Structure 1
Amino acid sequence: MDRWKERRRTVPSQGADLAVFEYGPDPSPDTPSLLLVHGYPDDHRVYLPLIRELAETCHVIAYDTRNAGSSFTTGKPGSFVLQVLVDDLYAVLAATQASSAHLVGHDWGSIQGWAAVQDPRAAGRISRFTSVSGPDLGHFSCWLRQRRSHPRGWAQLVGQLLRSHYVAVFQIPVLPEALWRLVFTGIYERAAGRPVGNNPVRGLALYRANLHAGRQPPSRISIPVHVVVPVKDPFLSPALVDGLEEWVPKLKVTNVNAGHWYPETHAFDFAKLLQESLEGTT
């Protein structure tokens, strides 16, 4: 069997057709399943280098979120709120028959992952969660408020707001779409070495639909959570992990000397971390 051979299906979910891709052995009690959720402005292809490292021994599931790649909303304008994205994630899990999956999220995929593991459906469906460069929105809001009384809080607060300035820019009508089409897509594709198509424009819906998300404090998470922190990430402060242990008792934090796209640029190293987690050595 060619473990790398891609198996594709379409999964309908709340007004969207999701393009789902599977690699490696079929799901079984003896084969660990991983569900990989990408971020912005990517699609599942950001994980292809990682999948090549994992597909020999793992059942790997990846999908294009409803605003990216080969997935599309079937109704207009379509919903992109966080709860709908979480529903998509569980629809993919159900369709692929993964009895219990290790959830891996990057960027917006990680934001969705935090919400998914706090959902009641997580029990028995998600065994552990690995987060890279994407905070829980509730924790992020709490963290911003708490910086005001932290000894170094104001410097951290201002630093993170500067890192996140693009979120405000994305709320402006028309301008972000024009900048991506005319300027930034070409720059990004040359830097990444792969096409992103119209993912950047379609993905703006994430920021516009969820601007006011995260007002509720996070819920306690009982499964193991591994937060991988790329210390050279220009968008997120490493200090955002502060306070996670208060509601994530089985927390492990690993700092890595890499930038925002660590899962793609350091696929071998990331695969090793994931395999160690699957084997119970971390």
Structure 2
Amino acid sequence: MKRAILTLSLAALTLTSCGSKKKIAELEAKNKEIQDLLNTATVQLNTCLAEKSQLNSQVDYLKKSNSDLINTTANMTTLTSKGAENLEKSLESLKEKDLKIARLQDALTRKDSVTLALVTSIKRSVGINDPDIEVNVEKGVVYISIADKLLFKSGSYEVSDRAKEILGKVAKIVQDKPEFECMVEGHTDNVPIKNAILVDNWDLSVKRATSIVRILQKDYGIEPSRLVASGRGEYVPVDNNTSADGRAKNRRTRILILPKIDQFYDMIEKEMKNQTK
């Protein structure tokens, strides 16, 4: 009987031991499964954390870019406003310059018209196709150049009768232009001259100029305040003095018909006032 009980006890223990091992194996398998799930979850978590960090960096970058864009837009708005203001000022300045240019062009046109009319009038009145009398315009001034052989004898400053006829025609032009001055300019060649009256060619050129000025004043009634006498001597030649022809061209008298000096100042003053408006 005791043996039977012992046998039954051993059998029960054996069955109990087998059941525990099976349970443990199941638990270990379950634990491994859970561990695998945990590892997978950990990997996924780490991946998510890395992605989150990257996204956070991108968000920070986008925020900074947005802020920079806002600042740039504000700056561009400021610059655009200043640019528009500067452009408006530039356009206004261009308009003013265009107006000044237009005024100057009008003045030049008027001056050219007056000059052309004056030259035509002089040529018609003096009119002569004589090569010893030239009428031209230089820098807005009308010049009548008369060879000295038509005015004076060699070495003399006494005006000839033919010269008085020519000077009478010039005087008429000067009288018709009361707003103009008349400058008489004497020129000689470089052949030395000296006598009891004349010191040199410069002296001769001045005396010839004053002789013509006196005739314009006394014989033709030109106001002396409008007359200027000057001598240039041999120092402004138009040709060389090495030949007889060259010396003949250099011996000449030029009569300049030009606006009065105070008129120039008036024109300058008016133009300065116009430019400051």
> Which category describes the TM-score, using the shorter chain as reference length?
under 0.3
More strand by share: 1
Q: RCO greater where, 1 or 2, for CA within 8 Å and sep 6 or more?
A: 1
Alignment TM-score, normalising by the size of structure 2: 0.26
If you compute each CA radius of gyration, which structure gives the higher value, 1 or 2? 2
Alignment TM-score, normalising by the size of structure 1: 0.26
More helix by share: 2
